[in-house]
Structure 1
């Protein structure tokens, strides 16, 4: 995070989407089909889901007006003392050598604002120029002396930016700036801080998949930053910290792999019980140097990003920043964009005074987007699958504990109103017009009305729309929700799925159904009267997400279980095996080596096939064979000199792989049409 009032980082916006009220030109666009599947459950909405950052250089940090605005936006977590300032800030005397500290921004003032807002605090302890003893004293002041009950404590901020990988923006007085040194200190900080209050949660800084310096192994290190930090400190932490400034409008599709890869890294290095470690996105912004930070494109991106991250299990997403300061001023979609990474105006002007922001604490468009998300997805709701058939329109949905359902729709088109037709699976909406919340381009509030129908709305250009629906009949007497499923005995073609039994409702439970999520559609892959099911006919190297549903003897069905995601492997035995290794990585590409071993009859001439898992991956070049790519499919044919593979012989080939998103490696390889064992 920056140490200046205006964030000078390239940043983000994501592919977005939306629903709204009827408009005059709806017939100009083809209807958009929206699918909402109440049987395809994703993550629950956490208490701390919607958050933002406070910085000690912000003179309005402690004002009642600021706290009340954040409360109205639904902010549930406030992070302090502000990005890279965290690594120069000394809480006891409220100083930040080398940086500016505004009056009335000390920790106790911050906590007064947190309480007025009604959220929870997250505090970043000083790793760069501080000590474990200093952090422990902060815990004592906060939770023992003052009784604030601060639960979440980070150890440092973006500490990989200390020069170890070349770029240096984060203060770090340690002579050793390696991930190993950071990890050793995380252990020491955790021990010292939990000795004061064992109930606190400690977070460690990780690199975000496909964001620099993720994937890079520096000289002398045993692995990447994440590998080293997790292997050393994993047993001492309770959550990991990611930051994301994508710098483009079309990155929401990266989120599932981003979180999946982070979770796999945690599992690999922490082992049994690793599910206790949460994932926090403690800095996020949709801002871009080309504009859109304070106008509607940024708002649409913010709503899409927050919803997607929370649906994938992140327990907090924290906007950078409450106030930040004027940046590059542009005109975006008919409005002045101030290039400000804040939710609220700081009232600042350009250096020459030619352009000034609106009065201080005026909400920018992303403020209304987060306010919309807080009204759409409330703590305790559960995200469910939703999708559309129009790239300009996106959808998210949640099911509420009382049986209600809410759908958020985002129209990113600058000039087209889209009529939408909404179909529901596992949910029957009540007749009549639903409650509709709308935010349009340039609007200074969210409007609420009763309009359209549960199955039909029209979305204005550049708009956010939430519809809130009641079920057609009372949800009483149904079976309880089955417990969290787990997977065991996972092979290339099968897996055993088990779950804790659901409680019976008004009638006995007669069976459980296992449903696979296939986009926004569920397909039943088996059923049983017990609480365990072995499913077959799976595809090798494929990621599956499933939910379990209980059904009673009257046909009543439960809400779906929490999701289970597992990945099948490749055959345990095969006539061939393949080992893919990364030789080097530079966070946007890598050199890979593929070792092919023939474990069957002698081969004279071979062809290796595999596919890139994602559209943002591609072949840069290859050697040791003839490489071609068609779409996402890669074909590798032997050179004239290495086509012979006797039994037990191997051939090694190499390539450069490019990526612009989370780099999920190919997992399934076929040699002359046979699926190989991937080692």
Structure 2
């Protein structure tokens, strides 16, 4: 987490006049194509979706003004007592040895602000310098004595930053600083805390894929931090905790893989019943201390990331921080950026006398959270949306009353883009929809009823939400089918089953299974029952499907919740491949590939595979001739290892580089034949 800057606000704000460049307009004969697919459902919006962090060094933590501003932004979860301070904070006497504690920031004051905001609290128990007994006493004070009903409790903050992997910023008095020791203590904390209140939810700290120290294995450890923690603490926790500071504005595309890899780790290591374990992003910020932290680029990236994380099933995304403090002051897109990671100004100044606006003045990311909370409300369900222009991003939700909300983000600094919105599985009403807009430098979101549901123009550096009513309300439609499940998954087929939908005014005639392909759905089968074998799938690929009920009059239900599963490779083949990751340093790894010939003897071989993501590349390779073309890799035998007798194995190795979640290759072909991946 960024460290707080505790400076007094005593200087005069410098007014900086900036000449704005004229706005360019895209060719209006070729508007950006926006696709919104109401049949391709994603995650539903939880009650705790939009969150933020409070910190005990923030003297405005408990003020009514702060609480009211957070309420107006739609903040529904507030985390306490503040990042790394959590591991030095002792709640009973409200002290943090080695740190600063501001007046009027104790737990009861925090809870008064939470209630005024209308949010839920999340409390981080002190792991670094505390005990399980201290945490259990806090639960008793909160939920038994005071009746606050605090549901979410974390065990520590960024405890992998205790020096075990080299860097040390997190307090940790334990002699053993390994993930195994942390996991053992998570079990002890959970047992002690749930003995006081068995209804609470306990969370354990994980590393975020492709973010340090993810994938590192320290001396003496049985695996990475996540593998070790989940293997021991998995049965005792209810959610896992991620923190993400991407430091760039174009990283939202990495989110689906990030979350999918964490879910895979949970499934593989947390034991039976691990599907109950949720994922919380309890610290997040898009800016850096010298680029766009408080101005519109950071706000646009925030809205994009919040929507993408929530659409992928994260149950809360918590901005760091409500107040933080001034950093490096720069000019970004025509406005002063204060290098502050807060939603609201702290009113602090640099040593050179440059000061932020008056305390509690909202920064641009505040309006981004406000837009997200008005776009995606609890109970809505995300649906697929996409555009054909890299500078324009789209997100969409379906509301319980049948309306759609579409959030459009124009990241271009100087171009206004006209957009044409195409709706699939939804017919918009005629007339002007409600439009919410926030533009570069604006101090509020504007609301209007202009244009139509299918077209409008997006100003440069803008957030726009269009709320569209359906053309006609259809009564008596079937309910959505229940959560689908996959079984008997092979390389090209799977059995999809689901709980029956409730009938409307007419009986249900059939169910349709739709495969998501980006923002487009393809119907891949239908049945009168509640189970279907789907085939002709691509091997080694992640697939997401929805089920829709259709009644005897042609009326259709809303789509089911999504089901995501991954096909394998052939159960038997003339070749088999085993990929082993031998070491990993967080931005690259050493891979070893064993190639076994299960068929007739081979004289000369070529192995091919593809990097699953564009942020992956070949660093070097050995024991063969390696070449990369785009994302495709070709590995050709050397003169000395070209012959493979039946049952023989050749081993080759490589260094793979990555700058995002490292999804390993799963499909390999040998001389054109798809191999079994072991």
Match for residue 328 of structure 1? 328
Does the Cα contact within 8 Å between 2:249 and 2:287 map onto a contact in 1? Answer: no
Q: Give 1:5 deviation, angstroms.
A: 3.1
Match for residue 11 of structure 1? none
Structure 1 unaligned spans of 5+: 8-22
Within 5 Å, which residues of 2 pair with 1:152-191?
A: 152-191=152-191
1:113 aligns with 2:98: no
Cα distance change of structure 1 residues 456 and 290 upon mapping to structure 2, 3 Å threshold: same
Corresponding residue SS for 2:379: coil
Match for residue 35 of structure 1? 35
Match for residue 651 of structure 2? 652
Within 5 Å, which residues of 2 pair with 1:600-615?
A: 600-615=599-614
Once residues 6 and 547 of structure 1 are traced to their aligned partners in structure 2, the CA distance between those partners, rounded to angstroms, is 50
Within 5 Å, which residues of 2 pair with 1:544-555?
A: 544-555=543-554
Q: TM-score, normalised by structure 2?
A: 0.97
Q: TM-score, normalised by structure 1?
A: 0.97
Match for residue 534 of structure 1? 533
Does the Cα contact within 8 Å between 2:56 and 2:102 map onto a contact in 1? Answer: yes
Q: Give 1:600 deviation, angstroms.
A: 1.0
Q: Give 1:29 deviation, angstroms.
A: 7.8
Q: Which runs of 4 or more aligned residues in structure 1 lie more than 4 Å from their structure 2 counterparts after TM superposition? A: 23-29
Once residues 362 and 173 of structure 1 are traced to their aligned partners in structure 2, the CA distance between those partners, rounded to angstroms, is 39
Once residues 174 and 2 of structure 1 are traced to their aligned partners in structure 2, the CA distance between those partners, rounded to angstroms, is 24
Does the Cα contact within 8 Å between 1:3 and 1:85 map onto a contact in 2? Answer: no
Q: Give 1:27 deviation, angstroms.
A: 5.0
Once residues 407 and 225 of structure 2 are traced to their aligned partners in structure 1, the CA distance between those partners, rounded to angstroms, is 37
Match for residue 147 of structure 1? 147
Match for residue 470 of structure 1? 469
Match for residue 438 of structure 1? 437
Match for residue 295 of structure 2? 295
Aligned residues: 663
Match for residue 456 of structure 2? 457
Corresponding residue SS for 2:68: helix
Q: Give 1:272 deviation, angstroms.
A: 3.2
Once residues 612 and 290 of structure 2 are traced to their aligned partners in structure 1, the CA distance between those partners, rounded to angstroms, is 30
1:98 aligns with 2:75: no
Within 5 Å, which residues of 2 pair with 1:261-410?
A: 261-353=261-353, 355-410=354-409
Q: Give 1:661 deviation, angstroms.
A: 0.3
Once residues 288 and 184 of structure 2 are traced to their aligned partners in structure 1, the CA distance between those partners, rounded to angstroms, is 36
Once residues 271 and 485 of structure 2 are traced to their aligned partners in structure 1, the CA distance between those partners, rounded to angstroms, is 15
Corresponding residue SS for 1:417: strand
Once residues 249 and 330 of structure 2 are traced to their aligned partners in structure 1, the CA distance between those partners, rounded to angstroms, is 17
Match for residue 19 of structure 2? none
Match for residue 209 of structure 2? 209
Q: Give 1:466 deviation, angstroms.
A: 0.3
Does the Cα contact within 8 Å between 1:543 and 1:568 map onto a contact in 2? Answer: yes
Q: Give 1:4 deviation, angstroms.
A: 3.5
Once residues 57 and 80 of structure 1 are traced to their aligned partners in structure 2, the CA distance between those partners, rounded to angstroms, is 11
More deviation, 638-647/27-36: 27-36
Match for residue 195 of structure 1? 195
Once residues 430 and 448 of structure 1 are traced to their aligned partners in structure 2, the CA distance between those partners, rounded to angstroms, is 19
Q: Give 1:249 deviation, angstroms.
A: 1.5
Match for residue 579 of structure 1? 578
Within 5 Å, which residues of 2 pair with 1:27-66?
A: 30-66=30-66
Does the Cα contact within 8 Å between 2:289 and 2:341 map onto a contact in 1? Answer: no
Structure 2 unaligned spans of 5+: 8-22
Q: Give 1:575 deviation, angstroms.
A: 1.0
Corresponding residue SS for 1:287: coil
Cα distance change of structure 1 residues 156 and 40 upon mapping to structure 2, 3 Å threshold: same
Match for residue 19 of structure 1? none
Q: Give 1:92 deviation, angstroms.
A: 0.3
Deviations 1:317-337 (A, max 9, x none): 000000000001000011000
Corresponding residue SS for 1:92: coil
Q: Give 1:291 deviation, angstroms.
A: 1.2
Once residues 591 and 347 of structure 1 are traced to their aligned partners in structure 2, the CA distance between those partners, rounded to angstroms, is 49
Q: Give 1:351 deviation, angstroms.
A: 1.3
Structure of greater relative contact order (alpha carbons < 8 Å, 6+ residues apart): 1
Once residues 285 and 476 of structure 1 are traced to their aligned partners in structure 2, the CA distance between those partners, rounded to angstroms, is 43
Does the Cα contact within 8 Å between 1:403 and 1:475 map onto a contact in 2? Answer: no
Q: Give 1:614 deviation, angstroms.
A: 0.2
Once residues 225 and 510 of structure 2 are traced to their aligned partners in structure 1, the CA distance between those partners, rounded to angstroms, is 47
1:258 aligns with 2:286: no
Does the Cα contact within 8 Å between 2:24 and 2:415 map onto a contact in 1? Answer: no
More deviation, 290-299/657-666: 290-299
Cα distance change of structure 1 residues 652 and 25 upon mapping to structure 2, 3 Å threshold: closer
Match for residue 74 of structure 1? 74
Does the Cα contact within 8 Å between 1:487 and 1:496 map onto a contact in 2? Answer: yes
Once residues 290 and 653 of structure 1 are traced to their aligned partners in structure 2, the CA distance between those partners, rounded to angstroms, is 44
CA RMSD in angstroms, aligned pairs only: 1.1
Once residues 61 and 419 of structure 2 are traced to their aligned partners in structure 1, the CA distance between those partners, rounded to angstroms, is 42
Does the Cα contact within 8 Å between 1:34 and 1:386 map onto a contact in 2? Answer: yes
Match for residue 560 of structure 2? 561
Does the Cα contact within 8 Å between 2:231 and 2:271 map onto a contact in 1? Answer: no
Once residues 263 and 64 of structure 1 are traced to their aligned partners in structure 2, the CA distance between those partners, rounded to angstroms, is 39
